[in-house]
Structure 1
Amino acid sequence: MSKRIILLITAVIIGSFTSFSNEIIKKDSSKSKTISFKIKLKSTDKIKIAVSPLKYNKHFAYSFTLDDGYRSAYLTAFPLLNGGKISSSSINEWKIDQGGDGTISEGLFYSDGMGNKIPFKLGLAINGASIGDLPKNRGHLSWSEVKEMYNAGWDILNHSFHHFTKPGTNFLTEVTENTASIKHNLDFTMSHFVVPGGEGDPNYRYEYEKNALANGHLSVASYTGVGPILKVYSKIDLAKMITARTFVLSSKDTTTFKTMDRFLKTVDSIAKLPNPIWYNEFTHGTGNGNLWNLSMRFPEFKYYMTTLQNKYGLKGNDSIWMAPWQEVYEYIWLRDRIKINFKQKNKEVIVTIQLPDIPEIFRNRDISLNVETSSRFEIESNKELSIKDDGKSNHKLIFIQL
């Protein structure tokens, strides 16, 4: 019976400029646009090599985003998923409890298939105008808190500068000022936009969609669009993608987890689909209080995320890739553009991968390859490639970092 080998390739190329999404964005370049390495098999059995539909060859990607940059993201969601001290009760400036249960979390994880555990990561859709250090009982995040979560792998998405939606809003300014604010304070450029909800002309979302896509954003989450379930087994059209935004919200029932069980039932049905998919969901706060009645109370959020780990993460069947929107988008973008060639001669296989120009705003440059073989193997490469594998033991995985 053949065994799957998964190759994880992180490509880092530096360089030139080209036009992308109607703005000038730095692209990567190098003297060579290809990488290559040798697989030395223990037998002459034929092998097959193909790109994995999802990173780590997971069965489904799940992206979960917290809207509006509320401080409960840092006080409760981040320590629960990443590991650490969860805040106890914390009453904010709006007299709403954005804290949690005060416990110590070991973190929630899935694995990379090589024996390493990776914490669940979410996305944050933030408004730069609301981020700051005051008041002390503030309801929104601070810049240092956003930076800490970003450095831990959480994605930061553009949610407009002020969260304005009413008639008279300058939608272009809302998009570009938020981009400039995050660039100034955190030194990176956001590449994905989430339309803010609120009162306004029924068509205001189209103004946000149009201006976001025209000013460097690669995708927009809006009221209507494709998804939230995206089939990713084959090549998909990511150009100016607009997706439908759906929410996981607490109900008035505070005594049971029946509402969360209904949402989890949907996830379970998606996880059972035969081919790989990408699923995305949203909420607002994750504190003890149901912020604006558009949030998840912390006990329910904890139950929901812990159940995901126990069923599909490290403590379950390990089929989930719990990663924020930008990370999944960038993987699929690169997956659909690389060109893989391999030549086998007896027990040796030369693998050559041609890489595309990758926009500099990408923060993830990983790709996974599935290789089917019944043979154990070893890897040979030049000094420019750093390669790790378990070919002598489990003979399933190879990791390459440029």
Structure 2
Amino acid sequence: MSKQILLIVTALFFSNFNCFSNGIIEKDSLKPKTISFKIKLKSADKVKITVSPLKYNKHLAYSFTLDDGYRSAYLTAFPLLNGGKISNSLINEWKIDQGGDGTTSEGLFYSDGMGNKIPFKLALAINGGSIRELPENRGHLSWAEVKEMYNAGWDILNHGFHHATKHGTNYFAEVTENKTSIKQNLDFTMSHFVVPGGEGDEKYYLEYEKEALNNGHFSVASYYGVGPVFKVDSKVDLDKMISARTFVQSSKDTITFKTMDHYLQMLDSIVKQPNTVWFNEFTHGTGNTNLWNLSMRFPEFKYYMTTLANKYGLKGNDSIWMAPWQEVYEYIWLRDRIKADFQQKNKEVTVTIQLPEIPETFRNREISLNVETASKFEVEPNKDLKIKDDGKTTHKQIFIQLEK
């Protein structure tokens, strides 16, 4: 059987340029943006190149979001996944324990298939009006904590400025003021929205959906909608997507890993599907207390995430791409809009990829290609491209990055 070669093409593109040709940036308003490179094969075996359904040619994209910007995300979830010191027990201003077990985590990882490990990453759905520095035992995150997690690859999603839901809510202001707040304090523009839960007028969530989509957001996680399991081995309709939101939560009474095992069994049934899939889930706090009975206690959160890593991550079958909602959305959006072509002449293959106009708010501009061939290979040097590959060893991957 032929082996698959995975090509990961990461492009940092600019709106004022319209063409990348042979690694050289060209300005030409009449031509599409194009990147191209050459592969030198060790033998003249036939080659087939296709776009990978998911980044790194993974089978499962799993996105997990923490709602409301509670400080337990930084104290427990972030160090557990990214590696670091997990907080000891810490009672917050609401007399709730948002800490963890005080241990030091080595991190939870999957691999890119080229020998590099990548930490599990989540998303934070935050309310700018709740972010603050004081008191010291505050229940919500600070700007510095949000920034640190964002810089580590966690995505930040719009959750309304005040988390308002009750009668009289100004939905337009909630959406736009939160967007402005994050832009002013963290210097990036949020592009995905999560409807805040709570008491409100009947079907109030429809107002949030409308205002979010009308004000620059590409997708909304709401009470009802498509998903949360998406088959992604063919084109996905992402236009003004409204996704159903589901939660992973501890039981109300005592710590029980049986509750987590139930969620894990459901996830395992999704993974076993033959289709490549994207699954999206949520919770609230991850501290020692089940915050508002809508959260995961830290021991159960740790058990849940560690089990995922051991089974589907680097220590398991390495089939998971543990990435937040925005990262997966942007990959699929770009994947479905590129045009990849290749021409083979004996032992030389020229790959050409035409790219769409990418929205300025996109944080991730990456694409993976599968190349089926029995031959080892090497990539022809190109001074305008940063290239990594394992063509001389397991000959499965090429990584290409275009920079400014």
- Asked whether the 8 Å contact 1:29–1:357 carries over to 2, the reply is no
Q: Which residue of 1 is the match for residue 218 of structure 2?
A: 218
Q: Which residue of structure 2 lines up, in the alignment, with residue 395 of structure 1?
A: 395
Q: Deviations over 1:241-287 (max 9, x none)?
A: 00000000000353530000000001100110001000000000000
SS in structure 2 opposite 1:62?
strand
Q: By how many angstroms is 1:79 displaced? A: 0.1
Q: Give yes or no for contact 2:252–2:290 (8 Å, CA) kept in 1.
A: no
C-alpha displacement of 1:167: 0.8
Q: Return the letter of the residue paired with 1:68.
A: D
Distance 1:29 1:326, change over 3 A: farther
TM superposition shift of 1:384: 1.1
1:364 aligns to 2:364 (yes or no) = yes
Look up the SS of the partner of 1:227 in the other structure.
coil
- Aligned pairs for 1:211-360 within 5 A: 211-360=211-360
Aligned position for 2:11: 11
Q: Contact 2:312–2:318 (CA<8 Å) still a contact in 1?
A: yes
Aligned counterparts, 1:138-217, within 5 A: 138-217=138-217
For 2:3 and 2:281, how far apart are their aligned partners in 1? 34
Contact 1:14 1:30 in 2 (8 A): no
User: Aligned residue for 1:62?
Assistant: 62
Please give the alpha-carbon distance, in whole angstroms, between the structure 1 residues aligned to 2:94 and 2:213: 34
Matched-pair contact (CA < 8 Å) for 1:68–1:124: yes
SS at match of 1:177: helix
* Aligned counterpart, 2:386: 386
Query: Alpha-carbon deviation of 1:381?
Result: 4.2
Displacement, 1:378? 1.0
- SS for the counterpart of 1:182 is helix
What is the distance in 1 between the residues matched to 2:310 and 2:109? 9
1:29–1:82 CA distance, 2 compared to 1 (3 A)? farther
Q: How many residues align?
A: 393
Distance 1:149 1:245 in 2: 23
Cα distance in 1 for partners of 2:220, 2:325 equals 10
1:60-115 deviation per Cα after TM superposition (whole angstroms, max 9, x unaligned): 10000000000000000000000000000000000000000000000000000000
CA distance in 2, matches of 1:339, 1:86: 45
1:97 aligns with 2:104: no
SS at match of 1:266: helix
2:50 maps to amino acid: A
RMSD of Structure 2 on Structure 1 (CA) = 1.4
- CA deviation vs aligned residue, 1:25-71 (integer Å, no higher than 9, x gap): xxx99557111111111111111000000000000100000000000
Alpha-carbon distance in structure 2 between the residues aligned to 1:301 and 1:189: 29
Letter in 2 for 1:133: E
Unaligned runs of 5+ in 2: 18-24
Give the aligned residue type for 2:160: S
For residue 137 of structure 2, what is the aligned residue in structure 1? 137
Deviates more, 1:219-228 or 1:8-17: 8-17
After TM superposition, which residue ranges in structure 1, 4 or more long, deviate above 4 angstroms? 28-32
TM-score by length of 1: 0.96
C-alpha separation in 1, matches of 2:184 and 2:150: 15
Inter-partner Cα distance in structure 2 for 1:62 and 1:293: 24
Q: What is the alpha-carbon distance in structure 1 between the residues aligned to residue 220 and residue 278 of structure 2?
A: 15
Is the partner of 2:384 in helix, strand or coil? coil
Q: Does 1:127 align with 2:127?
A: yes
Q: Distance in 2 between matches of 1:348 and 1:142?
A: 53
CA distance in 1, matches of 2:371, 2:387: 16
Q: Deviations over 1:135-188 (max 9, x none)?
A: 111000000000000000000000000000011000000000000000000000
What displacement does 1:202 show? 1.7
User: What is the aligned partner in structure 2 of residue 34 from structure 1?
Assistant: 34
| Pairwise CA distance, 1:382 | 2.8
Aligned-partner Cα distance in 1 for 2:217–2:340: 28
Q: Distance in 1 between matches of 2:46 and 2:220?
A: 43
TM-score w.r.t. the length of structure 2 is 0.95
Q: Which amino acid aligns with 2:118?
A: I
The residue type equivalent to 2:182 in the other structure is I
Any unmatched runs of 5+ in structure 1? Answer: 18-27
